């Protein structure tokens, strides 16, 4: 009926409610009564295992942010002109600039 959470609270598996470890919370008191009746909660769920694709996507996002920052810096400092960078990076720069609202 309950699963322990990493933050010290519990998850009510019947309702999906997150219940904090707080004596003032009625749901927490009900959980304590449930424990006192000899019940045992499920253990903390392990984090999902990341696939190679997940790791690659995370790496891609980090790379995009790094290239975005570098392009902004180089253009703002006048080190390079947009005309000097390859089209694929120019497109990325313009896309990210639009997303930032700059």
The per-residue pLDDT of the chain, averaged, comes to: 91
Q: What is the pLDDT of residues 52-94, one digit of tens each?
A: 999 999 999 999 889 889 988 998 999 999 888 899 888 888 8
Question: Would you list the domain boundaries of the chain?
Answer: 2-36, 52-100
Q: In three state form, how does the secondary structure of 49-63 look?
A: CCCHHHHHHHHHHHH
- What pLDDT, on a 0 to 100 scale, did the predictor assign at position 100? 79
| Lookup: tokens for 68 | 């975005």
Query: What letters, b where the CB count within 10 A reaches 16 and e where it falls short, cover 24-57?
Result: eeebbeebeebeeeeeebeeeeeeeeeeeeeeee
Interaxial angle between packed helices 87-100 and 52-76, expressed in degrees from 0 to 180 and rounded to the nearest 10: 90
């Amino acid at each position: 009926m309950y699963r322990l959470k990493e933050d010290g609270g519990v998850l009510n598996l019947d309702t999906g409610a997150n219940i904090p470890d707080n004596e003032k919370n009625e749901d927490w008191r009900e959980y304590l009564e449930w424990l006192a009746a000899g019940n045992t909660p499920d253990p903390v769920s392990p984090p999902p295992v990341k696939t190679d694709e997940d790791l690659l996507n995370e790496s891609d996002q980090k790379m995009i942010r790094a290239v975005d920052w570098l392009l902004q810096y180089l253009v703002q400092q006048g080190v390079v002109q947009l005309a000097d960078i390859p089209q694929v990076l120019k497109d990325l720069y313009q896309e990210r600039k639009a997303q930032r609202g700059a």
